[in-house]
Amino acid sequence: MKSILRTLAFLALAISLVLPLSLHAADKYPLSEGTIKKIDAAGQRIMLAHGPIENLFMPPMTMMFKVKDAALLKQVKEGDKVLFRVEEEKNGDYVVVSIKAAKK
């Protein structure tokens, strides 16, 4: 029984070591597509109807994201179709780190 627990502990450790590495590999994934539903400049948040976010293995949905830098929100407006990059912070929050209007 003890050896099973030890094996599980080892697996948990191995997974916790591998996950951050896979996050750093985000750049190999394409930018995600979305449409801006709402910009909350004061709260530094943005609501996006987004397509698949491959680097986060997230299916299409509409949701709120934190934005890493308030200046990013000045480059876009509600209704814009955008290309963006989201990363997961250590605390589990999803944060938009880059965003730009998609070519029409």
Least spacing, CB of residue 48 vs Cu ion, in Å: 8
**Cα–Cα distance for residue pair 34/61, rounded to 1 Å:** 9
- To Cu ion, the closest distance from the beta carbon of 29 in angstroms equals 15
Which is closer to Cu ion, CB of 26 or CB of 58? 58
Task: Output 12 or 61, the one with its CB closest to Cu ion.
Answer: 61
Query: If we measure between CA atoms, which residue out of 21, 32, 25 comes closest to residue 98?
Result: 32
CB–CB of 52/58 below 8 Å? yes
Nearer to Cu ion, 74 or 93 (CB): 93
CB of 56 to Cu ion, least distance (A): 8
Min CB(59)–Cu ion separation in Å: 7
List interacting residues with Cu ion (CB under 5 A).
Answer: 58, 61, 63
In the bound state with Cu ion, the residue whose beta carbon lies nearer, of 47 and 63, is 63
